[in-house]
């Protein structure tokens, strides 16, 4: 492990454009469950019931969604960034980071200190919501208060009455165009691409490491379990994101000193 940590630190210090790509595994140490680990979200809920089509197409779909959201959102809101988020933010402070491409909706990279313009959110952000009819913006805190007061399905203020949807991407929903294009562009021009905490099974997000590799970047994968992209990795670090990223950061600091 020490040799791999050293190798990643060397790659980061020599990089012109380091891209860090994160998934739910970077936030589990903040207390937010991931999706596909044993006991993860998709172990407890059926992903087929939480599609975009169910949400926009049926009152029952929205009722189910908000019932889950009412329980999940406070976990996200109350979570604090962990050592991995802070290490990534420190790479930014050291001038080493091009950007973070994240599948997460929890805002924790920004809260750890990565500027918003450097965080590309492929799957949206849970702290915002909007009306699908008139586009009116709501904070998720505001909508969450309605749920706590007993509203089952939040609707836009009269006279609109449209469907309010969190600013997160559901299965079956189109990806945000600008973010997806920008993520692909950054991946293709990166020279070091570090994956932290993703199973790399959800597309098109999981294409990003492949675009980077195809363009000649060194690919590093830091993940507790195996991923389908492991055979393409130049360095594999099977460990916990917090402690691995802390060790890498320490070695980077020593090299830069």
- Residue closer to ligand APR (CB basis): 37 or 64: 37
- Residue closer to ligand APR (CB basis): 125 or 199: 199
Residues 101-130 that bind ligand APR (CB under 6 A): 103, 123
> Could you give the dihedral angle defined by the CA atoms of residues 242, 243, 248 and 252, in that order, rounded to the nearest 10 degrees?
90
- Residue closer to ligand APR (CB basis): 106 or 156: 106
- Residue closer to ligand APR (CB basis): 2 or 257: 2
- Measured CA to CA, the distance from residue 227 to residue 171 in angstroms comes to 20
Residues 156-215 that bind ligand APR (CB under 6 A): 197-199, 202
Q: Does 243 bind ligand APR (CB under 6 A)?
A: no
Among candidate residues 123, 144, 167, 229, the one labeled active-site is 123
Contacting residue, 4, 34, 98, 121, with ligand APR by CB under 6 A: 34
- Measured CA to CA, the distance from residue 194 to residue 213 in angstroms comes to 11
Size of the site for ligand APR (CB under 6 A): 21
Residue 132 CB-half CA count within 13 A: 14
CA 43 to chain CA mean position, Å = 19
Which regions of the chain does DSSP assign to beta strands (E)? Answer: 18-22, 97-102, 119-121, 124-131, 137-139, 164-168, 192-196, 218-222, 235-237
Beta bridge partners of 171: 51
Task: Tell me which residues are annotated as active site.
Answer: 123
- Binding region for ligand APR (CB under 6 A): 23-25, 28-29, 34-37, 40, 103, 123, 197-199, 202, 223-225, 240-241
């Amino acid at each position: 492990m020490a040799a791999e940590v050293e190798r990643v630190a060397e790659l980061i210090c020599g990089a012109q454009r380091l891209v860090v790509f994160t998934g739910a595994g970077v936030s589990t140490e903040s207390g937010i469950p991931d999706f596909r680990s044993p006991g993860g979200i998709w172990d407890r809920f059926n992903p087929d019931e939480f599609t975009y089509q169910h949400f926009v197409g049926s009152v029952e779909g929205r009722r189910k969604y908000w019932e889950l959201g009412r329980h999940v959102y406070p976990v996200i809101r109350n979570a604090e960034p962990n050592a991995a988020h802070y290490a990534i933010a420190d790479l930014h402070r050291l001038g080493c980071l091009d950007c973070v491409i994240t599948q997460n909706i929890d805002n924790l990279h920004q809260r750890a200190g990565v500027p918003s313009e450097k965080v590309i959110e492929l799957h949206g952000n849970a702290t915002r919501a909007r009306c699908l009819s008139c586009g009116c913006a709501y904070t998720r805190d505001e909508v969450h208060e309605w749920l706590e007061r007993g509203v089952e399905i939040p609707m836009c203020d009269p006279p609109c009455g449209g469907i309010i949807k969190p600013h997160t991407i559901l299965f079956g929903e189109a990806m945000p165009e600008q973010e997806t294009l920008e993520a692909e562009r950054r991946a293709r021009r990166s020279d070091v691409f570090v994956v932290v905490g993703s199973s790399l099974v959800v597309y098109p997000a999981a294409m990003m490491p492949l675009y980077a590799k195809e363009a000649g970047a060194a690919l590093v994968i830091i993940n507790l379990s195996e991923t389908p992209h492991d055979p393409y990795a130049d360095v594999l670090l099977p460990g916990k994101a917090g402690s691995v990223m802390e060790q890498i950061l320490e070695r980077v600091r020593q090299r830069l000193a």
